[in-house]
Amino acid sequence: MCYSSMIRAEHRHFVKKYGVHISLRRYYEMFWKKRQDGGLLRIPKAMRADFALPDNDQERKLAELVAEGEREQANVLEARLFEQRARLAEAERALATRPTKKAENDRRIATDKIGQVQRILADLQRIELLDRDFRIFPGHYAPVMIEHDGQRLLVPMRYQCRLPGWTEADERRKPGTYNARRDNLEQAWRKLFGRHHGVMVATSFFENVPRHRVEHRELGPDEPVENTVLEFRPRPPQDMLVACLWSFTKGADEEGDLFSFAAITDEPPPEVAAAGHDRCIIPIREENLDAWLRPNPKDLDALYAILDDRAPTYFEHQLAA
């Protein structure tokens, strides 16, 4: 399963290359909601920084909203850092007088949390963008191209699809809906396949692969399975138009609306299979983009043909940093 990807987040890139219109309203709603519920860091830094140099009043409001939210998030993290430093100091005082297992655990946990919070704070306050600022995980947000009123539209969506009729409780019971298996499109995904199609633009994807598969060997006697993370990049480097399905959930009075999506996955090409993984995203051809975004639910064969006629891509892999 594709659990993580490097995405294109720059809205101006989408406008210039793909001729999309930007749903600034949906961007504002996303930033506002995640600021209110404390989930701002689920929006990749590259998306939060995308409006830092605004072109108009709407983009300026977005930039101000993000800046306010990041200041608030930094205050929360500073308070958390103060708490853990106090916990560490108390544990060290206890260990200096009467060592106990509890004090040892408190010191270890506080030290780990201090390091974690300091890393998050440094990333939050950093201005320049790094590669990891474009990476998403399930529950994170990414720009997705869809078709609306006869034109391409860019909408920020959560990378974990809430299927039609589902609740948050359903999502907790079945958390794997960030990927949609091609061989299950007409079963579990039948309410979206042929109806709500989208495209995420990615530059690489990541997979969890057991180390013994990467090394092309069997597990040794009593050897535990060890996980590795591989990054797969297309050669030559390029934008991949990843075939997706998306859903819209109307929010209750206290909740905002939710756009969410899943990437379609299929059997892997030989080079991905040789690296030890059994699934792969589907990059479609750019010339098929409009046909994919405007599906006909009465002609599913044409949609499968688009998935078969995928962009010729060779994936190199390396251990993720």
CA distance 297 to 200: 21
On whether the CB atoms of residues 309 and 243 are closer than 8 A, the answer is: no
Whole-number CA gyration radius for the chain: 22
Tell me the C-alpha distance between 23 and 241, whole Å: 19
Q: Give pLDDT, residue 57.
A: 94
Q: What is the mean pLDDT of each successive set of 10 residues along the chain, which is 321 residues long?
A: 89 95 94 91 96 93 95 95 96 92 95 96 94 96 96 97 93 94 97 98 94 89 91 95 96 79 96 93 96 97 96 92 72
Over the stretch 58-94, which tens digit does the pLDDT of each residue have?
Answer: 999 999 999 999 999 999 999 999 999 999 999 999 9
Which one-letter DSSP state was computed for residue 223?
P
Q: Which alpha helices (H) appear in 193-264, and where do they start and end?
A: 211-214
As a whole number of angstroms, the distance between CA 64 and CA 62 comes to 5
pLDDT per residue as tens digits for the range 141-176: 999 999 999 999 999 999 999 999 999 899 999 999
Taking the domains of the chain in order of start, what are their residue ranges? 4-24+134-319
- Cα–Cα dist 81/84, whole Å: 5
Superfamily of domain 4-24+134-319: SOS response associated peptidase-like (3.90.1680.10)
